[in-house]
Amino acid sequence: MRHRLLFAVAHSVTILFLLVVASFPAQASITLNGVTCTNYHDFSNNDEKTYPNDGWTDLTSHYFVCFSANQGAAHDIYVSVSSLPNDILNLLANQNVVFYYFATRDDDIAFLGWLRLADPNSRCGNTAYVNFPKLIASQIYDLCTLNTLGIKIVNPSLYDVTSHETGHAFDLALWKQNNAQARPSQSVGFRTIVDGVNLGDMDRSDLYQVDLGAEGYAAPTRCEVFCCQVSVNYLEQDLGIPSVSTEPVCINGQVQRPYAALTNSDIMRKQDPYFFPYFPRLHNGHKLEEGDSKYYAELWAEEFAFQHGVVSPSAVPFLDSYISWLHCSTLVMRSYYTSLAPPTPYDLGKENCPAVSASDFTHH
């Protein structure tokens, strides 16, 4: 689920990559360091031309299967991507977003590590970008490696993990297409929308609205926001989420003692630190500190997955049980999802959200 930006790879590596790919005939598998990747058309005999199955050779494919996977599982990944709106599919194709389905993280490292696209700390997937050759690679794993718990598990939802990684790829693709200083998830606009301002009940970001309400709306109670918590799976435990079976916020409509003095946003930070960090809320002029960026990127990616439509079982059911309370960032993601652009300041203001401008979503 983690992602990294890598702006340069040595020129010799670039040449090597092109030579390796070019050395294989059309519609042949590619083997590197013992891992063989086959373009999805050849793997599945799927004749649909919808992205990411739009290229049927190893030079043009946008989806590779890199082990002897179950056909149905590989198809889940294809459907997760191909069911996106056409404008998003065109954007991903034009910005060369390529999907890889690996058995494990180790296979990902073996195949893409030499391009510095693999992440040794990733769990169920990873998305990264290299400038040479220009490539956004989204990698999904059949088996997740959970470093904190020290175990491997079957991917809890290939469809949802793919949607989440596609959210990272969407972020990077928008940044590339717009030649912007910052990706949308890293922009001052998105950070302000999530955690930035409280200028009264008509101008509050997500985490102020969930605590204080907005114009004409009372703040939701803790038992409203956390009414429907579901069991935490192994992936979420590895992300630092405590078990709701032992630490529920509410029982029979009553806030439990550990949370009695905490606000809704405090509880989000306590229970879901992977998506809601423990650093002070942003203020005007705040600069993104080292280490902050992953939280906004991960929230952006899961908002994208939630907008696309979560299937059961969800990869992160605990977060998905209350993500709809993040009113302003949900509005922003809905706009990007439908139009590839942020909402207007007027549309944000109508919803009592910070009326940031379109340019605020392009710079730090």
Per-residue pLDDT of 138-166, as tens digits, reads 999 999 999 999 999 999 999 999 999 99
Under DSSP, the state recorded for 54 is: S
What are phi and psi for residue 127, nearest 5 degrees?
Answer: -135, 130
- Asked if residue 56 has pLDDT above 80, the reply is yes
**How much is the mean pLDDT over the chain?**
87
Helices (H), the chain: 11-22, 40-44, 71-82, 86-94, 105-112, 158-178, 188-195, 206-212, 222-225, 234-238, 264-271, 293-308, 317-320, 327-339, 345-350
Coil, helix or strand at residue 39: strand
Q: How many residues does the chain have?
A: 364
Phi, psi of 199 (to 5 degrees): -105, 30
Q: For the beta carbon of residue 269, count every other beta carbon within 10 angstroms.
A: 18
Looking at residue 294, what is its pLDDT?
Answer: 80
Q: What is the tens place of the pLDDT at every residue in 59-71?
A: 889 999 999 999 9
Tell me what percent of the residues of the chain surpass a pLDDT of 70: 86
What pLDDT is stored for residue 117 in this prediction?
Answer: 95
Task: Write out pLDDT tens, residues 87-137.
Answer: 999 999 999 999 999 999 999 999 999 999 999 999 999 999 998 788 999
pLDDT of residue 212 exceeding 90: yes
Report residue 234 as tokens. 């192994």
CB of 92 closer than 8 Å to CB of 170: yes
* C-alpha distances out from residue 364 to 83, 95, 188, 190, 285, Å: 32, 22, 5, 10, 10
* CB 66 within 8 Å of CB 111: yes
Q: Which pTM value belongs to this model?
A: 0.90
Given a cut of 90, whether residue 338 has pLDDT beyond it is yes
Domain boundaries, the chain: 2-165, 184-361
Q: 46 is written with which tokens?
A: 């799927």
